[in-house]
Amino acid sequence: MFWSCQIGLGLIVKISGSSSRLHSSLHFFFLQAGLILLQISTQDLASFNTLRLRSCAGEFVRFESLSQLQELSEALRQRSGAFVLGGGSNVVLTPVLDCLVIKVQTRGVHVWAETVDEWIIEAQAGEVWHDFVDLCLNNGWAGLENLALIPGTVGAAPVQNIGAYGVELDQRFHSLQAWDLHKRQLVEFSRADCAFSYRDSVFKRTPPGRWLITAVRFRLPKRWQPVLEYPDLKQHVQLAEAGADVTARQIFEAVCEVRRRKLPDPAVLGNAGSFFKNPVVSAARYAQIKAAHPEVVAYAQEDGAYKLAAGWLIDRAGWKGQRKGPVGMHDRQALVLVNYGGASANDVMALADEIRADIAARFGVALEQEPVVVT
């Protein structure tokens, strides 16, 4: 079986192997260094965001090759701003976007380096995250399996330091390359430069349109250890049966199964996953909430603070399954705001504001929104 995908400056990566498992022998072929020209046009974005909000970009461009970067910066010089769009699974798009929307579509995966202990795998930003995790496992590069089925692209994964089922991206992160759209140069970011924290990084804190992440590198250990502490995985029947022989592929399948069972599929019901972050409160504040609500779900942090389950707060406040016009909170996942059809960003933000105010009044806790609002 052969896989081939185009990367950056006209390279083709060809990965060969048996149908069940790919080997990591990579063959590189040069294509003629073709310059892909920028084509700027208007674009309906309803199918480019998983909340399925009505939105239109006055100016939209597909970023498909590093050869377009200079031209992209030139185009930006004549405009007021830009927004870098991946799979649109963590955004709230307003009806008309005034900025230049850059849709990242670069592809390619290869072994960037190898040591005795680990493989460093580089993926281009436009790779679909879940397919990349799957491809890594097919090649014997385990370590990202707990992050299976998270929607979106590789390039967006560091932006909010994606995490799920006991693993966060920064645990597997090596470095990344980004284009500085202001200074017009490629810049390398180490793990420290990215300043990762819970659903946050330097990229999420910088105004949009400054950085275009072009490629991300991951450190995947040769002596792999499963991460099974998360309750849904601990209690998973097939994983428990596998015991010490559990494989990364089995964890991948289990994570996919749990996610499909628990989360609404954006292809069926528009949503952006968890709409709010889990708020972190002081030990004193936690003690007050615990006294009033002994069943509160919370996780002790290393610094003595507590992370409260935002889903529990929203559920407890009675929002689970509540509907306001075309939007509502999902009837099985209180943390997931859904679009039942025809919603706009205003509908989404009105419901989010109402919930935020209610949670603040009931529990004295400020909820922070996870998806980025784009205007």
Ligand X SMILES: Cc1cc2nc3c(=O)[nH]c(=O)nc-3n(C[C@H](O)[C@H](O)[C@H](O)COP(=O)(O)OP(=O)(O)OC[C@H]3O[C@@H](n4cnc5c(N)ncnc54)[C@H](O)[C@@H]3O)c2cc1C
**Least distance to ligand X from the beta carbon of 303, Å?**
21
End-to-end Cα separation, the chain, in angstroms: 44
Rule CB under 6 A: choose which of 15, 263, 329, 343 binds ligand X: 263
Structure tokens at 140: 């014997």
Toward ligand X, which CB reaches closer, 83 or 276?
Answer: 83
- Candidate ranges 158-166, 183-191, 246-254, 347-355; the one touching ligand X (CB under 6 A): 158-166
**Interface residues for ligand X in 179-208 (CB under 6 A)?**
203, 208
Query: Please, which residues have CB within 8 angstroms of residue 12's CB and are 6 or more apart in sequence?
Result: 4, 5, 6, 28, 29, 31
Task: Catalytic residue, from 145, 274, 316, 344: name it.
Answer: 274
Spatial strand order in the sheet of 96-104: 41-44, 56-63, 96-104, 82-85
104 touches ligand X (CB under 6 A)? yes
The verdict on 153 binding ligand X (CB under 6 A) reads yes
State how far the Cα of 256 lies from the Cα of 18, in Å rounded to an integer.
Answer: 23
Instruction: Determine if 338 is a binding residue for ligand X (CB under 6 A).
Output: no
Asked if residue 166 binds ligand X (CB under 6 A), the reply is: no
Q: Among the candidate windows 31-39, 64-72, 159-167, 307-315, which touches ligand X by CB under 6 A?
A: 159-167
Residues in contact with ligand X, counted by CB under 6 A, come to a total of: 35
CA-CA distance, 59 to 96, in Å (whole number)? 10
- Give residues with Cβ within 8 angstroms of 23, minimum separation 6: 15, 16, 17, 139, 140
Supply the minimum distance, in Å, between the C-beta of residue 16 and ligand X. Answer: 28
Q: What is the DSSP letter of 197?
A: B
Which own/partner pairs from 115-120 qualify as long-range (CB within 8 Å, at least 24 positions apart)?
A: 116/222, 117/221, 117/222, 117/223, 118/219, 118/220, 118/221, 118/222, 119/24, 119/219, 119/220, 119/222, 120/174, 120/217, 120/218, 120/219, 120/220
Q: Are strands 306-308 and 280-281 parallel, antiparallel or unpaired?
A: antiparallel
Q: Which of 118, 122, 127, 370 is catalytic?
A: 370
**For ligand X, which is the closer residue by CB, 55 or 363?**
55
- 199 in catalytic set: yes
In the range 78-97, which residues lie near ligand X by CB under 6 A?
A: 83-91
b/e sequence 177-188, b meaning 16+ C-beta within 10 Å: bbbebeeeeeee
Write the interaction track for ligand X spanning residues 205-224; mark x where CB under 6 A is met and - where it is not. ---x--xxx-----------
In the bound complex, what is the minimum distance in angstroms from residue 363's beta carbon to ligand X? 23
- Choosing from 125, 215, 308, 351, the residue that interacts with ligand X (CB under 6 A) is 125
Stretch touching ligand X by CB under 6 A, among 18-26, 181-189, 265-273, 355-363: 265-273
Note whether 156 binds ligand X by CB under 6 A.
Answer: yes
53 contacts ligand X (rule: CB under 6 A): no
Tokens of 287: 């003690």
If one asks whether residue 155 binds ligand X (CB under 6 A), the answer comes out as yes
Q: From the CB of 84, what's the least distance to ligand X, in Å?
A: 4
Report the residue from 55, 68, 94, 160 that binds ligand X according to the rule CB under 6 A: 160
Question: Residue 74: enclosing H or E segment and its boundaries?
Answer: helix 69-77
Active-site residue, 323 included: no
Catalytic residue of the set 52, 107, 172, 199: 199
Residue 73 touches ligand X, criterion: CB under 6 A: no
339 vs 344 by CB, closer to ligand X: 339
The backbone region for 71, taken as left when phi is positive above 0, alpha when psi lies in -120 to 50, beta otherwise, is alpha
Is 274 considered catalytic here? yes
What gap in Å lies between CA 193 and CA 205, rounded to an integer?
A: 13
Among residues 219 and 330, whose Cβ is nearest to ligand X? 330
Q: How would DSSP label each residue in 110-135? A: EEEEE-SSEEEEEEETTSBHHHHHHH
Residues near ligand X (CB under 6 A): 50, 83-91, 104, 125, 150-153, 155-157, 159-160, 162-164, 203, 208, 211-213, 263, 266, 271-273, 372
Catalytic site residues? 199, 274, 370
